């Protein structure tokens, strides 16, 4: 793993998120997109198995963005990873674009699943992982959830199912930035210690700094425990990389004005 390469990829992604959030000229989910940048850069820069020339390759790893409002972190990874072109990326939230505020399944663009209501992605990932087992395929299924999304009961039904079916080809990541659209997660629905909770359902659990690429890479690549699904609890900061957005829930969904855009670019620095 080339740490310099992945760190550069993450910086490029943050810049692209700011660029397109400003140019689209409407409100966008910026904070939750920035919080997952380092996770997505590690996945698309060093972990996921895919073929740029054959997006429908049957043995490609599958990635599902369950926290759909983190979509800018997803689209920017697809761009910097070479899966979508700049001219596609810059259509974000414009008329007739394939890239809207939540992902819509489009395998040719590397988008494996649609997302609207939260709490559905893990169930789909369980189905894909179980199907791969039954078909004796060797790819893995990755799914990224938000910590607020884990308030949904459907998430825990899927957690139980994955353990029951011994899906050691399934890797979940929880973007644990401690916030959701309405405020601090612990005040809205306190889920306690995620590591203990997921572990109690029979998952192999790792807790990492979600902005430390070396830690993330090690968590993704360490050998899986046979018959156990894996979850990585990634401790992150909402709005990471832009000081006035960090831990500021005003930037969960907001419009990036010219003055704020220029201020943010100064913090991101040269790419």
Residue spans of the domains in the chain: they are 3-268
Residue 242 and residue 264: Cα distance in Å, rounded?
Answer: 6
- 213-230 per-position pLDDT tens digit: 999 999 999 988 999 999
Most distant CA pair in the chain, distance: 54
Domain at 3-268, CATH homologous superfamily = Thiamin diphosphate (ThDP)-binding fold, Pyr/PP domains (3.40.50.970)
pLDDT at res. 271: 55
Q: How many CB atoms lie within 10 A of CB 106?
A: 15
- 150-209 per-position pLDDT tens digit: 989 999 999 999 999 999 999 999 999 887 877 777 777 888 888 999 999 999 999 999
Residue 40 and residue 6: Cα distance in Å, rounded?
Answer: 10
Q: How many CB atoms lie within 10 A of CB 180?
A: 24
- 44-86 per-position pLDDT tens digit: 999 999 999 999 999 999 999 999 999 999 999 999 999 999 9
Report how far apart, in Å, the C-alpha atoms of 135 and of each of 58, 127, 147, 158 are: 11, 12, 32, 20
């Amino acid at each position: 793993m080339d740490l310099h390469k992945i760190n550069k990829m993450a910086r490029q992604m943050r810049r692209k998120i700011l660029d397109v959030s400003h140019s689209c000229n409407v409100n966008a989910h910026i904070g939750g997109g920035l919080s997952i940048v380092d996770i997505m850069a590690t996945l698309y820069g060093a972990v996921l198995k895919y073929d740029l020339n054959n997006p429908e390759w049957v043995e490609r790893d599958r990635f599902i963005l369950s926290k759909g409002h983190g979509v800018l972190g997803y689209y920017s990874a697809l761009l910097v990873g070479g899966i979508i072109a700049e001219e596609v990326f810059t259509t974000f939230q414009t008329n007739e674009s394939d890239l809207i505020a939540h992902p819509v399944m489009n395998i040719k663009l590397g988008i494996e699943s649609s997302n609207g209501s939260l709490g559905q992605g893990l169930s789909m990932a369980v189905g894909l992982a179980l199907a791969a087992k039954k078909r004796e395929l060797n790819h893995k299924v990755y799914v990224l959830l938000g910590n607020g999304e884990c308030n949904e009961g459907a998430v825990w039904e899927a957690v139980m199912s994955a353990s029951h079916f011994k899906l050691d080809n399934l890797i979940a990541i929880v973007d644990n930035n401690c916030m959701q659209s309405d405020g601090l997660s612990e005040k809205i629905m306190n889920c306690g210690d995620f590591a203990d909770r997921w572990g109690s359902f029979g998952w192999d659990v790792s807790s990492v700094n979600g902005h430390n690429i070396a830690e993330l890479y090690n968590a993704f690549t360490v050998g899986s425990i046979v018959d156990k699904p894996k979850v990585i609890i990634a401790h992150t900061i909402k709005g990471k990389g832009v000081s006035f957005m960090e831990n500021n829930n005003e930037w969960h969904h907001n419009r990036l004005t010219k003055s704020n855009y220029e201020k943010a670019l100064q913090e991101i620095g040269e790419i």
